[in-house]
Each structure stands twice: as structure tokens, then as C-alpha cells.
Amino acid sequence: MYSTNDIRRAFLDFFGANEHHIAPSAPLVPYNDPTLMFVAAGMVPFKNVFTGLESPPAPRAASSQKCVRAGGKHNDLDNVGYTARHLTFFEMLGNFSFGDYFKERAIELAWNLITKELGLDRDRLLVTVYHTDDQAHQLWRKIAGLPDDRIIRIATKDNFWAAGPDGPCGPCSEIFYDYGPSVAGGPPGSPDEDGDRFVEIWNLVFMQHLQAGDEIVGDLPRPSIDTGMGLERIASVMQGQQNVFEIDTFRTLIEASEALVGAAADEESIASHRVIADHLRSTSFLMADGVLPSNEGRGYVLRRIMRRAMRHAHLLGAKEPLMHRLVPALVTEMGQAYPELVRGQPLITETLEREETRFRQTLEKGLRLLDDATGDMGEGDTLDGETAFKLYDTYGFPYDLTEDALRSRGITVDDAGFESAMARQKAAARAAWKGSGQAADSEVWFDIAEREGATEFTGYTSTTGEGRVVALVKDGAEVDSAKAGDEVIILTNQTPFYGESGGQTGDTGTMSAPSGVKVRVTDTGKPLGRLHTHSAVIETGEVRKGDTLHLDVDVARRDRVRANHSATHLVHAALRNRLGEHVTQKGSLVAEDKLRFDFSHPKPLSDDDIIAIEAEVNAEIRANEAVTTRLMTPDDAVAAGALALFGEKYGDEVRVLSMGRKGGEGRNYSVELCGGTHVRATGDIQLFRIVSESAVSSGVRRIEALTGDAARQWLVCREEALKAAAGALRTNPEDVADRVAALLDERKQLERELAEAKKQLALGGGGIATGPQDETVGEVTFNGQVLHGLDPKDLRGLLDEAKKRIGSGVAAICAVNEGKAAFAAAVTDDLTARFSAVDLVRAGVEVLGGKGGGGRPDMAQGGGPDGSKADDAIAAVRAILARVDA
């Protein structure tokens, strides 16, 4: 028997041997198509290749593509578990020709694979073609030798395939397998076609046209091929099963759930086991591709699928959370083909367990409410919308879970009533918001959020993608379009641009469209915490609401921001290790060029502290451990040791970032709650350097630091400055400090010598103490001098010398230093009855623009700001002597 894994392998090997490039499965979140919630067909990753926008990886390719059909346009969720074929997760085997081979080769390859390689009985095969496709009809006759009655012409959309309203499309031809007359059902196109006897196994699409809004608007650059064969369906044919849940992969998973609940599936419980097995696959694969449960968008679809499975686990009587315990069986079964499942196993397990534990807290109460409300209802009755809304709002029952719970009893739910209860709640929330007095200019954001819901951030895993314009805001009001030159705020349904929050700066980058639109994004905000607003300048073309734009974050800048953000976490941990647990974050700024971190600590960091902290952070960087993210409730996160900001409001779920090496209790070096974007591994930070440490307020310190190339450049600049200093000092960089210390000593010595010399100069040749400048004013001998550069503290000494030399008389000195003047006068004792040194100084000081002056009648001193009046100050003394004497 061919196992499912064997069939996947055989398919890829066959096309590999036929010169096809084997493309790995693309992630389930389609970044190239904003109209799709999840990849729902093998061709989705190649959509732009068919239309010629992107160049192909090779002329022909083949893949086994993960697909999810739940939420959005392709939604099989409601049927899963109750039909023989519906799955929310499946693998699509496909071969693609990008303008290489066309119909003939495609039919030949398909026929050879299923009849020769897989050995299906050709008598059990029949095909359909689009009613006008004579060529395909002919080719089936020629290549497969099928008689006309087994080549059925179909005139409906069933045989014209399109990925969506916009994009490549073309007529198709489907291959069916006949399970034989024991199974009810008719061939395709017959009234009984919905029966299970004839099952479509492979769809060959002859991609030729391009459609927009469901209308054919042109042809593809070259006719191409897209085929899709559901792996689980071909496996059921190969394994002789009519129900996909009977194939080996599902048997393994169902056996695992049977073992966990301790009972083999019976007729009543089998649907629940099937739901669990299918939902385990879709939820695990979605999480492996970065989708995590939330209350909006893709995350909510994921949560809905999980909760649906969890109700079925409860129905099976599971007393404990069940889903996470099935993950090992899934990984064993599919991990080899999809290594992301192995990598994601811890995250998937933890998330499932947490979700189920949490949901079980309200599940039973909700089910009781549901029982009370529907106790006397029966087949054909309708549950009121109010109750369905209460189940949703209070007990966390997604709408489709309530539907699912009532399905077996034939009870439906009043959809309109549910919607109106929901609308009423939104209106009440808005009224409360208006009453809260928040800024009126945010009203436009409220309008948009209410109409469009949250805009989805896809930038944790990608920096590029496509988004549909859901709103344009110009000068505070919504507009329908914006043209070249306009400055507008653009909102798209999804975006890889990070909106400024949590201290991390908003992303910048570009938006574009093949029509020639070019937009520069200068900043991204996050009003109301759930909208992403791109501040943009339209450079060319026109942007209209509803347009699809290609979004490109400035990756180099984002990488710098990431490095700075992750370094902030590492330095936080290093500060706590070095300084103590009292260190808590008080604020942070994560920008492109630097990071800033404010924290509580009572005193400045010493140089040793800074060196030790830097060394510790750089050691973690060099260890280059992968950075991991988990989603948890805030309480669980704190219990797991995550640092949370006191007083910060966290939602139901928080992202927990773990980075650095594992230490005691297996805990990583840093564990923090954080919504920001981070490096993949700490080595991406490259280098960490603290460049300043200062006080912000009492008890709060701030460090600023650099990472990566900015840190390297900073060090280079420092080195260059040091080299320049060494050059000027004519020494080596290592000796600069000693050399400067020696120079400073030398300078002190020189200053001392200079002061002494000046003093000597003043005392000596031509100076005040030696007399040649003595003059006689009236009968009094007077010596008055202006001395530049004389230290004021030498004035008294000099004047004492002068008094001694003169014997009887008056001396005055004005010492000018850096424009200012010190002024002192001395009167020999025999003359103090006639002149007071204090009066003389006051007169001089006044001229110098100063005030006062003090001392004794024989010696006084003062000063003034205007040194340029020094001569006048001396003259003022002279004038007093002349006047008194006269």
C-alpha cells in the first residue's frame, strides 16, 4: 500500500525526473495576495509568475503546497467532520508550466503519473473538459485513449478555474475516479454528481487569461499550466478508502486521540475524532507559519478552529486539555516533509495547551447556557441571536462553534439577530469612548476601526507583502483617492510596516503598484492600538481606496531598529544582574540610530559597571542563540519569569520574547513581554556599546547605546580622535594619557614659575618696588602702576615692598587679568591721618565699574569688571592726592 508520505514523494520524484524544479511549500499566509486569508491552492505562490509580474523560479515547477480552507472566501470549516472529503488543511500536489509546455504535455504527464507510476486502473478513470475546449477533448482521446462517453463536456464554472476575482484563469479539465456501482452517485454533470461514487482527484488548469472583477480582461503573456491534486484524496483512492479520514495519516492521528480519551471511536464519536484530527493539522501548520491565536483577522480564524476542536474534545469526555498531547503524533507523521512543524513543535504545544486550558474555563458554563436556551427546541428551530451573542461575548464561543454545537439537533442560529446584537455592542463602545473625552481628531480612526476592524500586522515574519487600501486620510478626513504630490495617511488591510509603539519607532519604506504608483512612507503609527497608519507622500500615480499595493519596508533601517530593540532587552537583563533586582525599566526609545534605556537606580554607574554590563551583553551577542517568541496570557508570562512593565496595560495575550543563553531553571538570559520586532538570533546585533550615562530625574538613570555598524563607527571615530591626539603629542595612542598627565604637571610648574617671574618683574627692573616711576604729587611720593597678568594675591606683598622702599608715600597697583581688574592701594603709616587707603581704593574701583573695596587705612583692596580703565583708576588716586594736598 502506498502511504500518504510515499505518494507525495512519488509525485515530486516523477516531476523532478521530468525536469521540474521542486519548489518547497510556501507559508500558509500569502504575502503576495491581500485578498486571500490563507493559501488555498498550489498556484497561489505563483500567481504573479503567471501574470508576468515576477520571473519564474524555472520554466516548470512542482510542489506539495500546504493549503488551508477556513475563513475568508474558501471556507470548508463548517463541513469538516461531517462529510467524506472536506478538510480545513490539505496538501495540494501540483505541477506548473510558466509558458513552457501546455495542454498536450500536461495531459500526458498527468495520465502517465496516475496510470503508470501510481498504477490506477484506467477503466475507473474519466475526465471532464470545458464545453468549448475541443482541443482538450481530442488530446484525452489521443493520449489516454478514453472513449467519448468518458470525456464529459461541462459548461459551468466547474470547468473554468480562477484563483479569485482578479488574476490568472482558464478552462480546466478534471480527472475523476469511479469507486464503482456499490457507492451512490452519478458522473460529473449528471443530477447525482454530488454522490460519493465519482470523486475528482486532479484538476488541470490551462491558464490563458487574466480576469479583473470576474471579467476576462486579457491574455496571460504565455499559455501556462497549473494543476492541483489533493494529496489526501489521491491517498484515499490509492488506499481503497472512500472517506479521506480513513487514510493512514488520519488513522494515526485518530488512534492517538482514541488512546488519549481511552475509548475507540464509535458511530457517535467518530465525527468528533475527525474534527480534532483535521483541526490539529490546520492549527499546528498555521502556528508553524507564524499565525497565533487572537481576536482579529487570521488569528481569530485560528482560534475559531481551535475552539471548535476543543469543544469536540470535551464532547469526547476529555477531562484535561487534549489537543497539545496529539502534537507528537502529528510531528511524527508529517515532520519529515515539513520541518517547520518540528521547529514549531514547542510553540504549537504550548499555545494549544494554554488555549484549551483557558477555553475550558468558560466552555462548560457556555454549554449549560446553550442547553438551557435550547432545551425544548427540536429539528428546524432557531436559536435567538442574543443568546448566540452572549455565548460569543461572555463565553468565548465563536459563532460557528455555536452553530456546530446545534448542528446534530437540526437547530440553526439567527444570524441577523447575532449581527444586530454585535452592532449594538459596538455602538455602546463608541458612545463610551466619546464620553471619555479623548481627542476629537482620533474620531476618524474610530470610524475606520469600526468599519474595517483592526489592520493586520504581518511584519513579525516578513518585511514585504501586499495590502488592500481600506482608507485614505487627508488633513484629518477620509478621501477616496490621492494623487501625485499629496501627503496622506494610507491604511491597508494588512501590512508588514511596524506602527510606532512600545518605544519602537515606526517603519519607513515604499508602496507601489504595477500601474506606476509610487509612494514614499515616512512613518507608521498605530492609533487605537489596532490600526496601522502609513504617513505617505504619493510620488507618482494615483492611489484609490480598494487598490492593491505592494508594500516594502526599508529593510536595512528595520534591521538596525531590530538590533537596537533586542539590545535593549539584553542590557535590561545585564543591568539587573550587575546592579540588582531593583532595576526596572522606566522608559525606552528604540530608534534606527541608537537606543535609550531609562531605569530605576539611585546613583551613577561607575566605569567598572559600564564595562561589565557591556561585556555581558556582548557575550550574549557572540553566543548567537536564536530569539524565540511565545504567546501567553500576561499571568502565565509573569509566572514564566517574564519581565513586565508595572502599570502597563496588557491585552489578553502577550508576546513573550526570550533571548540569550539558558541559565538556571532553563530560563533564557532575558525573558520579556514585548510587541516589538527583534533579531532572529542575538548575533545579528553584532556589537553593543554604551555611549552615555546620565540622570533623568532623582532615582532614574539613562543610558544611550549603539549597536552594529553604528557602534563600530563610533569606535572608529574615537580611535581616530585618539590617534590625532597622539600625533599632536608626538606619542603613541597608548601613551597619550601619561603624556597628557606629564604635560599638565609641566604646565602647573610653568604657571608657578611664570607668576613668580611676573612678581619679580614687578618688583625688579622698572617695577613698583624699585622706584623709577615714583612721582611727586603735591608733597607726597606716589607710585601707581598697571600690571598685566599679575596674580591679585600678590598685590599686598608688592605694596608692602613699595611702602618700605618709599618710606613715606602712597602706592597703588591695578592688576589686569582677562579684562578684569584687581585694585589695591597702600599708605605709609605717617600719612594715614591724611589719606585712607580704603578711600583711594574705592575711587579706583568706581572707575573700574566695580563697587566697594575694603581693608584698613594703610592697605585696602577691591576690583572691577572693566580692566580697560586701569590707567584711569590710577589717575583717580592721583587726583585725590593732588586735591587733598592742594
Distance of CA 542 to the CA centre of its chain: 29
Q: How far is the CB of 202 from ligand SER (least distance, A)?
A: 8
DSSP assignments along 454-515, one per residue: PPEE-TTT-SEEEEEEEEEEETTEEESEEETT-EEEEEESEESPPPSBTTBPPP-EEEE-TT
Helices (H), 624-707: 634-639
Residues 357-416 that bind ligand SER (CB under 6 A): none
Closest by CA to 518, choosing from 496, 559, 499, 490, is 490
Closest by CA to 355, choosing from 310, 389, 394, 417, is 310
Distance CA 279, CA 302 (A): 9
Within 10 angstroms of residue 622's Cβ, the number of other Cβ atoms is: 12
Q: How far is the CB of 249 from ligand SER (least distance, A)?
A: 20
Assess contact for 76 and 87: CB atoms under 8 A.
yes
Pairing of strands 151-154, 160-162: unpaired
Amino acid at 14: F
User: Whats the size of the chain, residue-wise?
Assistant: 886
Closest by CA to 226, choosing from 203, 195, 255, 259, is 203
Q: How far is the CB of 170 from ligand SER (least distance, A)?
A: 10
Instruction: Work out whether 25 is an interface residue with ligand SER (CB under 6 A).
Output: no
For ligand SER, which is the closer residue by CB, 236 or 658? Answer: 236
Distance of CA 498 to the CA centre of its chain: 5
Name which position in 36, 41, 531, 673 contacts ligand SER (CB under 6 A). 41
Pairing of strands 668-673, 456-457: unpaired
Instruction: Find all residues with CB under 8 Å of 306, minimum gap 6, and list them.
Output: 279, 283, 293, 323, 352, 355, 356, 359
Name which position in 203, 236, 345, 783 contacts ligand SER (CB under 6 A). 203
Instruction: Find all residues with CB under 8 Å of 320, minimum gap 6, and list them.
Output: none
Distance CA 314, CA 316 (A): 5
Distance CA 243, CA 235 (A): 10
Q: How far is the CB of 67 from ligand SER (least distance, A)?
A: 8
Name which position in 27, 30, 34, 42 contacts ligand SER (CB under 6 A). 42
Name which position in 33, 100, 226, 340 contacts ligand SER (CB under 6 A). 226
For ligand SER, which is the closer residue by CB, 94 or 809? Answer: 94
Name which position in 43, 777, 826, 827 contacts ligand SER (CB under 6 A). 43
Q: How far is the CB of 60 from ligand SER (least distance, A)?
A: 14
For ligand SER, which is the closer residue by CB, 43 or 657? Answer: 43
Assess contact for 401 and 372: CB atoms under 8 A.
no
Instruction: Work out whether 30 is an interface residue with ligand SER (CB under 6 A).
Output: no
Q: How far is the CB of 94 from ligand SER (least distance, A)?
A: 5
Instruction: Work out whether 230 is an interface residue with ligand SER (CB under 6 A).
Output: no
Assess contact for 749 and 848: CB atoms under 8 A.
no
Q: How far is the CB of 36 from ligand SER (least distance, A)?
A: 12
Instruction: Work out whether 205 is an interface residue with ligand SER (CB under 6 A).
Output: yes
Q: How far is the CB of 50 from ligand SER (least distance, A)?
A: 10
Element holding 696 (H helix, E strand): strand 688-697
For ligand SER, which is the closer residue by CB, 46 or 498? Answer: 46
For ligand SER, which is the closer residue by CB, 170 or 767? Answer: 170
Q: How far is the CB of 86 from ligand SER (least distance, A)?
A: 15
Q: How far is the CB of 45 from ligand SER (least distance, A)?
A: 11
Q: Of 220-228, 408-416, 674-682, 845-853, which segment contacts ligand SER by CB under 6 A? A: 220-228
Binding mask 64-103 for ligand SER (x = CB under 6 A): ------------------------------x---------
Residues 154-173 that bind ligand SER (CB under 6 A): 161
Residue closest to ligand SER when measured from CB atoms: 228
Distance CA 448, CA 472 (A): 10
Q: Of 176-184, 224-232, 498-506, 619-627, which segment contacts ligand SER by CB under 6 A? A: 224-232
For ligand SER, which is the closer residue by CB, 160 or 395? Answer: 160
- Strand-pair partners of 382: 412
Instruction: Work out whether 177 is an interface residue with ligand SER (CB under 6 A).
Output: no
Name which position in 27, 45, 228, 634 contacts ligand SER (CB under 6 A). 228
Q: How far is the CB of 716 from ligand SER (least distance, A)?
A: 55
Which position has the grid cell 603613541? 732
In the complex, which residues of this chain contact ligand SER (CB under 6 A)? Answer: 41-43, 94, 161, 203, 205, 226-228
